């Protein structure tokens, strides 16, 4: 199985980027081809053999990663699977690529693998980085219903069948949108605790647009993918959960503004999932109302 890797960067972490690329180069087995996409920023000097794409402006995370996919041919067809890695991450093990190959070879229904993100200092994994509701034990691998955008591997056949990440989202929930479309097409998703990306501990709210885009894209996610009956249930649940978390006044105002924006702006084509996909999500422990 031929592997590639897509790394998206804004050019502000050159030391971390070089360390990541070195960890990819040290993977056992056939070499992993790498594309680095400069998202609205010039790229630093990179090792020989690394492909580069420099975008004139920041097009957002999903669109930037889609550019990386297309750098491997239409829907990434030059390779069998792609690793998507944050530019400040690091692969501490040298057999991660081989584990990816073995996992895909052993399970033809497996379309996406979500890696475990570990803090390089403590080795701990934040609860939000375990893509399931029962997240207390990050060392337990399992089938899941979504994945982590900067620490995963995906078959390029998935993109050929259901398309890439939703460009319009810019930031937040683009992984779940792709995950739901993949599950609806019959693919499965695994969380693997033994496939590790080291990444510094961070809070998603560090981004100025976090609250607005989380709310807007939540609405878009429902509008694009859910049967009409489930849209109000899903969004109603998230309104209650957001209020229960007692956000600050400015955060709540930004969230409400994003929620309104999600209803008033185009979100791309609507392709509601089948009811058997709803049942599959429910059996996997995450019905699409949470």
Q: What is the pLDDT of residues 37-94, one digit of tens each?
A: 999 999 999 999 999 999 999 999 999 999 999 999 999 999 999 999 999 999 999 9
Sequence length of the chain is 290
Burial class (CB in 10 A: 0-12, 13-18, 19+), 128: exposed
Residue whose pair of structure tokens reads 């041919």 in the numeric block: 73
Q: What percent of the chain has pLDDT over 90?
A: 97
pLDDT value of residue 209: 85
Buried b (16+ CB within 10 A) or exposed e, 80-104: bbbbbbbbbbbbebeebbbbbbebb
Question: SS3 of 283, please?
Answer: helix
Alpha-carbon gap, residue 93 to 90, rounded angstroms? 9
The pTM (predicted TM-score) of the whole model is: 0.96
| Residue 12 pLDDT greater than 90, yes or no | yes
pLDDT value of residue 203: 76
Burial class (CB in 10 A: 0-12, 13-18, 19+), 285: middle
pLDDT value of residue 202: 79
Alpha-carbon gap, residue 99 to 123, rounded angstroms? 20
| Residue 206 pLDDT greater than 80, yes or no | no
| Residue 17 pLDDT greater than 70, yes or no | yes
pLDDT value of residue 207: 57
| Residue 266 pLDDT greater than 60, yes or no | yes
Please give the C-alpha separations between residue 12 and each of 37, 110, 232, in angstroms, as whole numbers: 13, 34, 40
249-264 vs 210-225: helix crossing angle, rounded to 10: 30
Ordered by where they begin, the domains of the chain are 3-202 (3.90.550.10), 205-283 (no CATH)
**Confidence tier at 189 by pLDDT (50, 70, 90):** very high
């Amino acid at each position: 199985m031929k592997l590639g890797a897509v790394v998206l960067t804004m050019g502000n972490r050159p030391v971390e980027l070089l360390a990541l690329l070195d960890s990819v180069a040290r993977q056992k087995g056939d070499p992993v081809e790498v594309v680095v996409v400069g998202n609205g920023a010039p790229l630093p000097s990179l090792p020989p053999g690394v492909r580069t794409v420099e975008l004139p402006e920041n097009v957002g995370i999903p669109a930037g990663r889609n550019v990386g996919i297309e750098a491997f041919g239409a829907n990434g067809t030059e390779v069998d699977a792609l690793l998507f890695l944050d530019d400040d991450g690091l692969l501490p093990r040298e057999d991660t690529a081989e584990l990816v190959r073995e996992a895909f070879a052993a399970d033809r229904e497996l379309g996406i693998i979500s890696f475990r993100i570990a803090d390089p200092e403590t080795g701990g994994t934040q609860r939000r980085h375990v893509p399931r509701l029962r997240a207390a034990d990050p060392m337990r691998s399992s089938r899941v219903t979504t994945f982590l955008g900067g620490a995963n591997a995906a078959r390029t056949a998935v993109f050929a069948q259901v398309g890439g990440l939703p460009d319009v989202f810019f930031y937040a929930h683009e992984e779940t949108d792709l995950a739901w479309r993949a599950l609806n097409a019959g693919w499965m998703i695994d969380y693997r605790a033994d496939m590790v990306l080291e990444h510094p501990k961070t809070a998603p709210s560090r981004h100025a647009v976090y609250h607005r885009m989380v709310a807007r894209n939540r609405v878009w996610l429902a509008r694009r993918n859910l049967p009409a009956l489930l849209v109000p249930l899903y969004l109603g649940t998230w309104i209650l959960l957001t209020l229960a978390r007692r956000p600050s006044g400015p955060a709540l105002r930004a969230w409400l503004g994003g929620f309104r924006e999600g209803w008033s702006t185009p979100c791309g084509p609507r392709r509601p999932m089948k009811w058997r996909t709803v049942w599959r999500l429910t059996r996997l422990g995450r019905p699409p109302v949470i």
